Amino acid sequence: MRDQGIGIPAADLPHVFEPFRRGENVVGRISGTGIGLASAQRIVQGHGGTLSVESEPDKGSTFTIRLPLTPSPD
């Protein structure tokens, strides 16, 4: 998914999938709890996939989900 929103500061990118973490540029501007991306990552990982992000402040973000074509062995 790609957006052209406010983007995520580089210092926040390593923490973007941690529960209850929010970017410094959204606090007080955009409501939220900081659990959405953490939940999305857990769901994707539960299906054997990965969720990644690339972002630049004031240019937007791109989130990429990669899922395996075959089920992972349990």
**What is the tens place of the pLDDT at every residue in 55-70?**
999 999 999 999 999 8
In the chain, what are the domains? 10-66 (3.30.565.10)
| pTM (two decimals) | 0.82
Residue pLDDT, tens place only, 32-46? 899 999 999 999 999
Amino acid letter for position 24: E
Distance CA 52, CA 4 (A): 17
What is the rounded average pLDDT of the residues 9-32? Answer: 91
* pLDDT for 72 beyond 80: no
Distance CA 29, CA 24 (A): 10
